[in-house]
A and B are shown apart, each in its own frame.
Chain A
Amino acid sequence: METQAHSQEGVGALAFPSVEWFQRLAQLMRDNRALHEHLGYIDCVAQFTILDGGLSARPWSVQVAFEEFEAVDTCLADDKARADFTIEATLATWREMIENIACGRGRPDLTHTLNYLSHTGAPIRVWSDDPLRKDLFFRYNQSLQEFVNASAAFRTIFPD
């Protein structure tokens, strides 16, 4: 089975949350194309929201458009309707998950997967106005997990 094994040595650190941080994940997805081809197409627009990640602890959101085996567009969210679903959590939750993935060198432990953290609606909430579009989160779950698992390949700096 293919998985991503990552080392953070020699790779520039990036701040979280930032568009650059998600763009790095998009770049890593391109670099790991073989893995994503093995998992299959992913066609959706996912919005990642950090509830207290913006200025004055306001919500901060980025949208990542996935097409085929790549993240083709990563930008600040300015059109809510464009997103098929939103994955939202507090900065502390995102931080705990990202640090856990880094600890596992690209594989979260049993209690830090996207599904684990979101299944009961807390601490991560996945939502959409359209249940069919929300189901895309399930249809592409493994690809989305590998997308965030790639964050172990570089160091993440969190706000104090």
Chain B
Amino acid sequence: MSIGSSAESLRPLPPAGGMNEEQVAYYESEFKEHATRWAEILERNAERMRRGQYSLHWMNTDKAAWGRRAKPSSRGLTYTDINNVPGYGTIPDRATCLNFAPRGSVRDPYADEMPAVDDYTLVERSESWADNVVTLYEEAKARQWNATRDIPWTELERLPEDLEKATCQLCTFLTEVEFVAGDFPAKWLYKIPQDFLEVKSFIVTQMVDEARHQEVFRKRAIAGGGLLHASPGFEWALRAIIDAPTHTMGTFLLNLLGEGLVLSIFRSGEMIAKTHVDKEIFRRCLQDEARHVSYGVLELKNYLDKSPHREAAIEEMHRFADVGERVILTAFTEAALVEPVAILLGGGLDKIDQGMEGQGHLWKMSVEEYLQRCDRAGFSRRERCTIPMESPWGQS
């Protein structure tokens, strides 16, 4: 190789400036020239300290809910226990404190000096609240499990190739779809003000659950043979969730419909599992998924109940669901999902037809469960549901 040709293959030198030059410059300008209230606070505090004085204003309890101590219940000190203490449990219909100051603290006197978090846009309680969110949060913490330790991995048995491939493909699907239920809440978590701390707390547990699901299915696939095929149909369904225009719409599509269907897959997974390891995985996951579904149902119910224009809100949700259901359906008709499930249900590649028949029955049940959950939320989809009651292969 000549010197000339080897020089041509060299990568270009990095740019002279820092890689984040523009962003750092903006940050500097923002805090040095525009948002400079912090400097006044710093100077005020420094000046007092130079004078050798203490403030001790924080010991004044005039505007605090001081002295009404929370008492633990039999299961420890829960959010419900502390919310029962006057001054702490009133959740506003609309959050006006758009910073990190805790609900129930003395914060009003300082509000003018506090910077606002511009991204806190879900200021209405009806946009994220569900009446079961406190219960679900405490339950989520109590029912956490560990995908490394709580699954009897050493008992994993080698399966015939068709069943192992089907199991690994199902796990590939689940690995692909699970973390949308982490990314979607993450996208909205930062938009929810601190006054709705119970919702934020629950959403964080959902993200932890989904991280664990993604982990356990990835581990199961790689321990059994490997990950198999990703699918475009899955990706479009996930895109429909991530791009939902509002938190409630996305939560409906993700938690109520999507996770409801995945809950059915987990139940089927437990039923068709060919090893105790797989049974344990699916049983653990279905418990987590059912919590997310419960939040989705009551979040939608709360949104509709509190809407000042209920009928208009329902119609808007219908328009969204008309599209969302169809896109979600794309994932649930993909060969990379339907066929492995049929092989596992039937008991082998040679019994895939029987498996498809069984799956048709489960399809009907899953759609009916979805419609029941919609009814429970006060959002009847029975007349408008775009997901057929009969599976597409059952209609032929």
B295 CB to nearest A CB, Å: 11
Cβ-defined contact, B138 with A120, below 8 A:
no
> How many pairs of residues, A versus B, come closer than 8 Å at their CB atoms?
83
> In the complex where A113-B270, A131-B372, A138-B287 touch, is A120 in contact with B143 (Cβ < 8 A)?
no
> In the complex where A139-B290, A142-B287 touch, is A131 in contact with B376 (Cβ < 8 A)?
yes
A44 CB to nearest B CB, Å: 11
Cβ-defined contact, A1 with B280, below 8 A:
yes
Q: Is A115 an interface residue (CB 8 A)?
A: yes
Interface residues of A in 26-57 (CB under 8 A from B): 39-41, 43
Which residues of B have CB within 8 Å of A68? 74-75
Which of B135, B149, B267, B372 meets A1, CB within 8 Å?
Answer: B149
What mask results when residues 55 to 72 of chain A are scored 1 for a CB within 8 Å of chain B, else 0?
Answer: 000000000000010000
> In the complex where A41-B139, A110-B273 touch, is A1 in contact with B287 (Cβ < 8 A)?
no
> In the complex where A1-B149, A139-B291, A139-B294 touch, is A116 in contact with B270 (Cβ < 8 A)?
yes
Q: Is B283 an interface residue (CB 8 A)?
A: yes
Q: Is B369 an interface residue (CB 8 A)?
A: yes
Q: Is B111 an interface residue (CB 8 A)?
A: no
Q: Is A130 an interface residue (CB 8 A)?
A: yes
Cβ-defined contact, A139 with B287, below 8 A:
yes
Cβ-defined contact, B271 with A107, below 8 A:
no
Q: Is B220 an interface residue (CB 8 A)?
A: no
Interface residues of A in 105-160 (CB under 8 A from B): 107, 110, 113, 115-116, 119-121, 130-132, 135-136, 138-142, 145
Cβ-defined contact, A138 with B263, below 8 A:
yes
Cβ-defined contact, B139 with A139, below 8 A:
yes
Cβ-defined contact, B297 with A132, below 8 A:
yes
- Interface residues of B, dominant DSSP: helix
Report the interface size for chain A: residues with CB under 8 A from the other chain.
25
Which residues of A have CB within 8 Å of B151? 1
> In the complex where A68-B75, A119-B268, A138-B263 touch, is A41 in contact with B142 (Cβ < 8 A)?
yes
Interface residues of A in 53-111 (CB under 8 A from B): 68, 107, 110
- Bound complex: CA A119 to CA B267 (Å): 7
- Bound complex: CA A116 to CA B271 (Å): 4
> In the complex where A139-B139, A141-B287 touch, is A131 in contact with B152 (Cβ < 8 A)?
no
Which residues of B have CB within 8 Å of A116? 270-271
Which residues of B have CB within 8 Å of A41? 75, 138-139, 142-143
Closest A residue, CB atoms, query B286? A138
Cβ-defined contact, B150 with A1, below 8 A:
yes
- Bound complex: CA A135 to CA B284 (Å): 14
- Bound complex: CA A119 to CA B272 (Å): 10
> In the complex where A1-B149, A113-B270, A119-B270 touch, is A142 in contact with B298 (Cβ < 8 A)?
no
Which of A39, A107, A115, A120 meets B365, CB within 8 Å?
Answer: A120
Q: Is B293 an interface residue (CB 8 A)?
A: yes
Closest B residue, CB atoms, query A115? B270
- 5 nearest CB pairs, A to B: A40-B143, A138-B290, A40-B142, A131-B372, A139-B290
* 8 pairs of residues in contact across A and B, judged by CB atoms under 8 Å: A1-B150, A41-B139, A43-B139, A110-B273, A119-B270, A120-B358, A132-B294, A135-B290
